[in-house]
């Protein structure tokens, strides 16, 4: 059996990370068999190297090796590409064509991005895996093929299965052996090694001196997230090799070639809300309270006008009932909004924020009895009631709660739905 080091040299694989060595070791072990293999890993980690190793070390090494990018073939033609078609099977099919499974008979097919296969094609592929049979598009004649399938994907297969985008039975047939390639950020020691290899290759290719990183630039290289993995690292090395006249690369120069450097650094999470945020929420709370009072006054005025203008007691009674329901719905909706705002304000109490609790205030009870049974005095102009004094209501609630619990702040604060610290501040504020 070929050694891991010899295999890396043979296929030009750079790196000494234990996870990478384990991947190559598994590929060497599974190669002599005909077991289906699923290679997983993020985009750009080099998944295409694994099927090449498996094919080259298997008894099929003298057969054909065909790599198919399933995500790059249109859904309407992928069945024809994989399984072939008969003449006249569809518009444009002017001749019989052999598909990849027929051409690669006795060899290996690498299905890259297998998670992108449409469901009808997945059914065809499952049949090939189960008994080696397939049908050309437009044909009723079953054909046999002896092909080893190695598939690869960078998507979450379990999630695709749960969404109905990939067949579970096909997944288990493909992943008899699953080989996972680690992302570049998990191969910390290999990053600089790979960069130096790419820099050397591009220096020879473009006939120019090799670029070198200083200590700070090397540190940045190692700490960067590398979302595009080896592919992104290679592109950065090539860009710098071509564009930079100074072959000694410092931190600032390298940073200019890395996308969204800030997003790859640890984020500082603000643990306290700014004072301005609390101020805005408090103003919004006041506005909701005053709007609620104004709306209730408008509804009351409308109620009196309807009762004054109506002649039929039954109609008046129905109108009164409807308006009362409107009043209660408005009250509940508004109180729900206020309650949410109060909870937000109380979640992080600070010295500069006044928390107002109105959970104990009870909505007015609107009567729905027949208007005819009541005696009303109507006036031409009904003046709006004076706006509620929030501070007076707050003071009244605090006094009642303290009296109820004989001055025990903890119980009173719990009754009011505020913290004991906030209650203490209010007591000092109102000289209670």
Of 141, 157, 182, the residue that ends a domain is 182
Q: Does residue 328 form part of some domain?
A: yes
Q: Cα(328)–Cα(337) distance, rounded to whole angstroms?
A: 14
> Which pLDDT score, from 0 to 100, does residue 240 have?
96
Q: Are residues 135 and 115 in the same domain?
A: yes
The CA-atom distances, in angstroms, between 200 and each of 38, 209, 317 are: 33, 9, 92
Of 264, 294, 313, the residue that ends a domain is 264
> Which pLDDT score, from 0 to 100, does residue 291 have?
72
The CA-atom distances, in angstroms, between 321 and each of 19, 328, 401 are: 74, 11, 35
Q: Does residue 399 form part of some domain?
A: yes
Q: Cα(199)–Cα(205) distance, rounded to whole angstroms?
A: 10
Residues 365 and 296 sit within 8 Å (Cβ to Cβ): no
The CA-atom distances, in angstroms, between 224 and each of 197, 240, 262, 329 are: 18, 16, 10, 55
Q: Are residues 228 and 374 in the same domain?
A: no
Q: Are residues 136 and 30 in the same domain?
A: yes
Q: Does residue 425 form part of some domain?
A: yes
From the list 374, 369, 365, the residue with the least C-alpha distance to 327 is: 365
Q: Which residues pair with 108 in a beta bridge?
A: 65, 148
Total number of domains constituting the chain: 4
Q: Cα(428)–Cα(432) distance, rounded to whole angstroms?
A: 7
CA dihedral over 342, 344, 348, 350, signed as positive or negative? negative
Q: Are residues 254 and 285 in the same domain?
A: no
Q: Cα(117)–Cα(325) distance, rounded to whole angstroms?
A: 57
CA angle 224, 229, 235 (to 5 degrees): 90
Q: Are residues 319 and 247 in the same domain?
A: no
Enter the DSSP assignment of 137: B
Q: Cα(361)–Cα(394) distance, rounded to whole angstroms?
A: 10
Q: Are residues 168 and 19 in the same domain?
A: yes
Question: Residues near 279 by Cβ (< 8 Å), separated by ≥ 6?
Answer: none
Q: Are residues 349 and 398 in the same domain?
A: no
Q: Does residue 306 form part of some domain?
A: yes
Residue-by-residue pLDDT tens, the chain, 432 positions: 678 999 999 999 999 999 999 999 999 999 999 999 999 999 999 999 999 999 999 999 999 999 999 999 998 899 999 999 999 888 888 899 999 999 999 999 999 999 999 999 999 999 999 999 999 999 999 999 999 999 999 999 999 999 999 999 999 999 999 999 999 999 998 999 999 999 999 999 999 999 999 999 999 999 999 999 999 999 999 999 999 999 999 999 999 999 765 545 444 344 444 444 445 555 666 666 767 777 777 777 777 776 666 544 544 555 555 555 555 555 555 555 555 555 555 554 444 444 444 444 444 444 444 444 444 444 344 344 444 467 777 788 888 888 888 888 888 888 878 888 788 788 888 777
Q: Does residue 269 form part of some domain?
A: no
The gap from C-alpha 116 to its chain's centroid, in whole angstroms, comes to 20
> Which pLDDT score, from 0 to 100, does residue 335 have?
57
Q: Does residue 381 form part of some domain?
A: yes
Containing domain of residue 314, as a range?
Answer: 275-387
Mapped onto helix, strand or coil, the DSSP state of residue 85 is strand
Q: Are residues 365 and 417 in the same domain?
A: no
> Which pLDDT score, from 0 to 100, does residue 415 have?
80
From the list 236, 146, 224, the residue with the least C-alpha distance to 198 is: 236
Q: Does residue 270 form part of some domain?
A: no
> Which pLDDT score, from 0 to 100, does residue 60 have?
96
| Helix, strand, coil fractions of the chain, as percent rounded to 5 | 55, 10, 40
Residue 201 CB neighbour total at 10 angstroms:
15
Q: Are residues 71 and 131 in the same domain?
A: yes
Q: What is the CA radius of gyration of the chain?
A: 37
Q: Are residues 45 and 177 in the same domain?
A: yes
Q: Are residues 334 and 404 in the same domain?
A: no
Of 144, 164, 182, the residue that ends a domain is 182
Q: Are residues 211 and 346 in the same domain?
A: no
CATH of the domain at 416: 1.10.10.60
From the list 26, 30, 24, 29, the residue with the least C-alpha distance to 11 is: 24
Residues 69 and 113 sit within 8 Å (Cβ to Cβ): yes
Task: Count Cβ neighbours within 10 Å for each residue of 408-419 and write b for 16 or more, e otherwise.
Answer: eeeebbebbebe
């Amino acid at each position: 059996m070929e050694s891991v080091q010899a295999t890396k040299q043979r296929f030009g694989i750079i790196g000494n990370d234990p996870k990478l060595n384990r991947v190559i070791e598994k590929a060497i072990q599974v190669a002599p068999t005909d077991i289906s293999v699923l290679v997983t890993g993020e985009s750009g980690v080099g998944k295409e190297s694994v099927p090449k190793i498996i094919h080259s070390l298997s008894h099929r090494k003298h057969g054909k090796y065909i790599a198919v990018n399933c995500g790059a073939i249109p859904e309407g033609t992928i069945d024809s590409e994989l399984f072939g078609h008969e003449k006249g099977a569809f518009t444009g099919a002017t001749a019989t064509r052999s598909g990849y499974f027929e051409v690669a008979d006795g060899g290996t097919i690498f299905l890259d991005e297998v998670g992108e296969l449409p469901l009808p094609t997945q059914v065809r592929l499952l049949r090939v895996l189960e008994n080696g049979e397939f049908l050309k598009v437009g044909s009723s004649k079953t054909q046999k093929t002896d092909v080893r399938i190695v598939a690869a994907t960078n998507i979450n297969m379990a999630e695709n299965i749960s969404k109905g985008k990939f067949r579970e039975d096909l997944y288990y047939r493909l992943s008899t052996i699953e080989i996972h390639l680690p992302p570049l950020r998990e191969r910390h020691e290999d990053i600089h090694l790979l960069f130096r290899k790419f820099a050397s290759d591009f220096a020879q290719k473009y006939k120019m001196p090799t670029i070198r990183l200083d200590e700070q630039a090397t540190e940045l290289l190692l700490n960067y997230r590398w979302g595009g993995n080896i592919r992104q690292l290679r592109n950065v090395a090539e860009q710098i090799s071509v564009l930079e006249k100074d072959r000694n690369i410092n931190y600032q120069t390298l940073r200019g070639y890395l996308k969204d450097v800030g997003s790859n650094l640890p984020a500082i999470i603000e643990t306290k809300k700014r004072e301005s945020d609390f101020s805005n929420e408090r103003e919004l709370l006041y506005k909701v309270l005053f709007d609620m009072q104004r709306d209730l006054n408008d509804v009351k005025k409308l109620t009196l006008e309807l009762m004054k203008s109506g002649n039929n007691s039954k109609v008046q009674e129905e109108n009164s009932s409807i308006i009362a329901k409107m009043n209660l719905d408005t009250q509940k909706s508004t109180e729900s909004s206020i309650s949410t705002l109060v909870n937000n304000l109380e979640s992080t109490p600070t010295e500069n924020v006044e928390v107002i609790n109105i959970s104990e205030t009870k909505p007015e009870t609107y009567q729905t009895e027949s208007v005819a049974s009541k005696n009303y005095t109507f006036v031409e102009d009904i003046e709006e009631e004076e706006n509620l004094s929030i501070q007076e209501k707050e003071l009244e609630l605090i006094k009642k709660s303290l009296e109820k619990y004989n001055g025990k702040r903890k119980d009173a604060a719990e009754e009011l739905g505020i913290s004991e610290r906030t209650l203490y501040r209010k007591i000092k504020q109102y000289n209670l």
